[in-house]
Amino acid sequence: MASKSLNLVFAIATLVISTSVFPLCTSLSLKYPAIFNFGDSNSDTGNMLAGKGGSLHAPYGKDFRSPSGRFSDGRLVVDFLAKEMGLPYLNPYLESTGAPNFKRGCNFAAAGATILPAKGDSFCPFSFDIQVLQFIRFKARVAQLRARSSHKGGKKRMAVNILSLLPKEEYFEKGIYMFDIGQNDVGGVFWSNKTQDQIFVWISTVIDAFKQGLEELYSNGARNFWIHNTGPVGCLPETLTYFGPTTNRSNVDAFGCLKDHNEADKAFNLQLAKLCNDLQKKWPKANITYVDIYNIKYDLIANHTRHGFEESIMGCCGYGGPPTNFNSSIPCGSKVVLKGEKFKSKVCQNSTKYVSWDGTHYGQSANRFVASQILNGNYIYPALSNKMSNLIFP
């Protein structure tokens, strides 16, 4: 399919999505008792490190709970959303130390996670299907512990009142289920030999897998779904480093992003929006909210100076300097020896001026911006109440 034709399709699709697939609504509230989150590194608060071992070294987390298990210099979008809901930051499901508190929800997201089931050689074994199974296990275990404590003397037999650290039974139905996953699927497929047209066809397989996971959660009591679409992978410094143009400048847009990657993201998001609409019709008692992360992030990159940033497609922490400051052999926070020579990653002086933190993940300031745009209601279908339009993050 030609690029010009695709752009027309996406333009029409955006209009359709904004006017008929998701009619505007002014009654949506963020008053939920708990958050159950699923995703990849965009919302991982420590699962990948707890589940697979290892640690994130400084300067990761330098502006928030260093080290915190987050792939950023500070907080993530999910952290800002939780704060505005009056809920604590989510503890990772796989963290077993420090008596993690799950009373107000649990985070199942893991860095590197995909929607499609992980393969044996996958970086992350905790793909979406596994995260769903973890949730089902979590819910069942909570029910078991509550049943045990209801027996005479049950609470006394527990060294610690563990029930105070677990969600109430009704929270599983009344809580909000957040999703930010798919970026690794769409970005990763470009390492295959698939053509652009084949990628667009393949995306339906990913959407089907996501649908299966949502259906499992619905059958296990989930009713409030908050679904982020995927951001512009073609604007990530990592993507630009590996797939950036050498002679084919026609694949680069006016803001330095790769068109083919971003067109794949748009195709994914279009099918995701349709899925949300279809499920809302199928489940009239559910509340399905589609959040347009792509256009928030693309606007941030395209108009970064207007939003207070100086660098849009160069990472703050990494190695290599302009234009991307990204080298997978010398990642952020590392000291390595390559061919007998020592190399050390470097950090910019002011990370608040960079959209990208490490070439793959956004920095805290960019995440704060994304969360503020979500909460002003302009990128949400159905839309948030007007009362949320003037939120200011500390």
Catalytic amino acids?
41, 358, 361
Residue type, 345: S
60: which 2 tokens?
């990761």
Which run of H or E residues covers position 52?
helix 47-52
Cβ contacts of 19 within 8 Å, gap of 6 or more: none
Side-chain-facing half-sphere of 229: CA atoms under 13 Å: 30
Cβ contacts of 296 within 8 Å, gap of 6 or more: 231, 369, 370, 373, 374, 379
Residue type, 146: R
52: which 2 tokens?
């697979």
Instruction: Round to whole Å and give the CA distance between 378 and 293.
Output: 11
Q: Provide the Cα torsion 199, 205, 210, 213; round to 10°.
A: -160
Instruction: Round to whole Å and give the CA distance between 263 and 251.
Output: 11
Closest to 211 (Cα-Cα) out of 277, 275, 274:
275
346 bridge partner residues: 318
User: Beta-strand (E) ranges in 238-298?
Assistant: 287-291
Instruction: Round to whole Å and give the CA distance between 341 and 110.
Output: 33
Residue 332 CA, distance from chain mean position: 20
Instruction: Round to whole Å and give the CA distance between 326 and 97.
Output: 33
Residue 107 CA, distance from chain mean position: 11
Q: In angstroms, what CA-CA distances link 192 with 31, 121, 199, 364?
A: 43, 15, 9, 32
